[in-house]
Amino acid sequence: MYVIVVGAGKVGWNLARELLGKGHEVTLIESERRRYLIVEQELEHAVQYGDATELWVLERAGIQRADLVIAVTGDDEDNMLICQVAKEKYLCQRIVARVNNPRNLQHFKLLGIRPAVSATDLILRLIEHEVPQYGLVQLLALEGERLEIIELEVADGAPAAGKRVDDVELPEGSLIISVLREGKGFVPKSDTVIEPGDEVLLILDPGLESAITPQFTRNGAGPNG
């Protein structure tokens, strides 16, 4: 796979290194001269100097044949526009953009830049994972595919506790895909019995959370109960 990475900061440099290590062809583009010279010591011809928001810089890097363009500069406008021209002018099939300021995520969406990855958001998710507020953590949302994966802890006295997976009353469009018990995860069978204290992972159509949560909370209470 041929990958163009824009922005040789910590994220871009390490990404380029990892991708090269996995045997991919990579060009890293950096617009700041001093940074470029530092990174060039290690990556040599795999890094190019230039402002990738300019079309000729992308063309020099061979964007016409790129399979993937990743824009991870520290500037959201730059990341948006690099991905926009990669996708719409050069018809690159796959793009990934970094969102520096989570408030700008709406603009990435408006311009059709997906996926847009926000480190702040990811860290927030991790915090929620460690300190669950409602006992429900959204692990992954595939917006294009319209699927979500969530994690729930099974409370004492929850309707699902003590039931076979088969018998848990779940809405159409949801499925228990994994059970975490005493630190170990496994894929349940239809006759696996759900125990209080288990953490279960479910895959579901978006919007079903509120119908699913009561099965796993004490006495079927809602998220705030």
CA angle 103, 109, 114 (to 5 degrees): 115
Stretch that binds other proteins, among 99-107, 149-157, 178-186, 217-225 (CB under 8 A): 99-107
By CB under 8 A, is residue 90 in contact with other proteins? Answer: no
By CB under 8 A, is residue 110 in contact with other proteins? Answer: yes
By CB under 8 A, is residue 97 in contact with other proteins? Answer: no
Structure tokens that stand for 38 in this block: 């530092």
Separation of alpha carbons 1 and 65, rounded Å: 10
By CB under 8 A, is residue 53 in contact with other proteins? Answer: yes
By CB under 8 A, is residue 56 in contact with other proteins? Answer: yes
Stretch that binds other proteins, among 71-79, 139-147, 169-177, 203-211 (CB under 8 A): 71-79
For the CB of residue 61, give the shortest distance to other proteins in the complex, in Å.
15
Please select the residue that binds other proteins; options are 63, 71, 85, 95, rule is CB under 8 A.
85
By CB under 8 A, is residue 75 in contact with other proteins? Answer: yes
Please select the residue that binds other proteins; options are 107, 125, 163, 218, rule is CB under 8 A.
107
Please select the residue that binds other proteins; options are 88, 121, 143, 166, rule is CB under 8 A.
88
110 φ/ψ sector (left φ>0, alpha ψ -120 to 50, else beta):
alpha
Q: Which amino acid is at 81?
A: L
Measured in Å, how far apart are the chain's first and last C-alpha atoms?
A: 50
Which chain residues interact with other proteins by CB under 8 A? 53-56, 75-78, 80-81, 85, 88-89, 103-104, 106-107, 110-111
